[in-house]
Structure 1
Amino acid sequence: MLKRFLKVGQSNINSVIDQLEDPIKMTEQGIRDLKKDLNAAMESLAQVKAMAMRTRKEANAKQKLAEDYENKAKQLLLNASKGAMDTTEAERLATLALEKQAELASEAKRLGDEATGHETMSATINTSVSKLRSTLTTYDNELITLKARAKTAASTKKINAQLSTIDSSGTVAMLERMKERVEEEESLASAYGDILDQTNTTDNEIDKALADKTPKGSAMLEDLKKRMDIEK
């Protein structure tokens, strides 16, 4: 844990005091460390594979030379048996060829064993690299989820904090007063409307009565004649 805290401090030295236990920062630093480990492991894997290939190639080359010297020894003895060369000289040269063959065969075996060791180590490192790569993928996905959850939690916390500061009782009382005021205005408007309707009705009755008293047709003519006689 101390090493992890130091890593967190390296990633964010200015806020290390306040955020030592920040899971996101710790996870991010841990993933960065794992990526470094992965890169180092892949580099080691490449080096071991290269050594295995080079050593195996050298072992095969030594083995081929050993076989060549054995074939030369056989050819020398064959030539001597056919009388193509002196038997003593052929056997001396064949012995030297066999000694060289034995030396090369021993070297080929040593290189082959070394190549096998490199190949075994390469397989082991390759397994570790695959496991580490899979772990990194899992941690990356978990980090994405963790960040999303942290963001949602922060937003929810902020909203709940804002809601908790609202004076619900005061708000309800204000709405009730506003409702009463609106109802009063509506009642006053309705009252003015009733008064206006009554005024219009009275005027209509008066106008109608006057209209009924107005002479029409021949009655109007007789009335005019009477007024003319009065004037005369």
Structure 2
Amino acid sequence: MNIFKRLFRIGQAEIHAAVDKMEDPIKMTEQGLRELRTDLSEATEAYAKVKALAIRTENDQVHCQQESRVYAEKAILIMQRAQSGQVDLGKAEDLAREALSLHKKYYVESEELGQQAVALRQSSTEMLRNTEILKENMEKWEKELRTLRARVKVSKATEQVNKQLAQVDNNGIITMLERMKAKVEDQEAISKAYGEIARDRNDRKDELNSLLKNDSLSIEKDLQAIKEKLGIS
């Protein structure tokens, strides 16, 4: 398995230089995590197999221990029968030797299986610990990757907006707005001037009419005075 080698590589300082050279660090990181998930699945399967082998080895050890005790008991039992005269002593000794040989054989096997079972248990425990560490790290890395994705989107959007703002004056928008503003102000000034001219004309017309009206009244008064002086009714 290369799962732990991969973990070691991720922690190496050289990864920073490699990331700088990547065309798309996010995609490369996603690919790396996909490979790690595959390795994690394989490691979990391997752990299950090692644990199952440890269980079978322990079961075989127990079986050998039982067989070793059984043949030791048979050796004693056959010699007891020879002692009681139920079995010929020479034949009993041969059978006892065979039983003791099997007893020793199963005993040696049980000891070897015991050592193998201990080693397998240790291996499975270590594999389980390492896979759990990898799971925790992957959850952390995937969370960081999600955060980085969001930050990349925000940074790209911000970059685009800032780029647009930086190019606004280059596109002449501000200049055009200033010209339009000046033109509108000129139009407003002209409109105001026409309005003032119109008001001045109306004021003069009203003044003239007022003066003429006042003169007419004065003439009528003078005419009436002359008529009264001459006695004309």
Secondary structure (helix, strand or coil) at the match of 1:138 reads helix
Offset, 1:96: 1.9
Q: Could you say which residue in structure 1 is the equivalent of 2:119?
A: 117
Sort the Cα spacing of 1:74 and 1:173 in 2 relative to 1 into closer, same or farther, 3 A: same
Q: What is the aligned-residue identity percentage? A: 31
Of stretches 67-76 and 177-186 in structure 1, the one that deviates more from structure 2 is 177-186
Sort the Cα spacing of 1:70 and 1:190 in 2 relative to 1 into closer, same or farther, 3 A: farther
Sort the Cα spacing of 1:198 and 1:97 in 2 relative to 1 into closer, same or farther, 3 A: same
Q: Could you say which residue in structure 2 is the equivalent of 1:140?
A: 142
Q: Could you say which residue in structure 1 is the equivalent of 2:182?
A: 177
Q: Could you say which residue in structure 2 is the equivalent of 1:131?
A: 133
Offset, 1:163: 0.6
Q: Could you say which residue in structure 2 is the equivalent of 1:165?
A: 167
Offset, 1:127: 2.0
Offset, 1:138: 1.9
Q: Could you say which residue in structure 1 is the equivalent of 2:107?
A: 105
Offset, 1:66: 0.9
Offset, 1:81: 4.2
Separation in 2, partners of 1:99, 1:115: 24
Sort the Cα spacing of 1:195 and 1:118 in 2 relative to 1 into closer, same or farther, 3 A: same
Separation in 2, partners of 1:60, 1:125: 25
Offset, 1:24: 0.9
Deviations 1:7-29 (A, max 9, x none): xxxxxxxxxxxx84321122112
Sort the Cα spacing of 1:74 and 1:179 in 2 relative to 1 into closer, same or farther, 3 A: farther
TM-score (structure 2 length as normaliser): 0.66
Deviations 1:6-52 (A, max 9, x none): xxxxxxxxxxxxx8432112211211221222122112212211211
Give yes or no for the alignment of 1:187 onto 2:189: no
Secondary structure (helix, strand or coil) at the match of 1:165 reads helix
Q: Which runs of 5+ in 2 are unaligned?
A: 1-5, 7-20, 211-233
The AA in structure 2 aligned to 1:176 is K
Offset, 1:112: 1.6
Separation in 2, partners of 1:129, 1:46: 11
User: Which one of the candidate residues 78, 88, 92 is aligned to 1:76?
Assistant: 78
Offset, 1:73: 2.2
Separation in 1, partners of 2:141, 2:134: 10
Of stretches 87-96 and 26-35 in structure 1, the one that deviates more from structure 2 is 87-96
Deviations 1:92-139 (A, max 9, x none): 323321111111111111122112221121122222212222221122
Offset, 1:57: 1.1
The AA in structure 2 aligned to 1:73 is A
Give yes or no for the alignment of 1:30 onto 2:32: yes
Separation in 1, partners of 2:55, 2:28: 40
Sort the Cα spacing of 1:180 and 1:89 in 2 relative to 1 into closer, same or farther, 3 A: same
Q: Could you say which residue in structure 2 is the equivalent of 1:9?
A: none
Offset, 1:191: 4.3
Separation in 1, partners of 2:52, 2:118: 13
Q: Which runs of 5+ in 1 are unaligned?
A: 5-18, 206-232
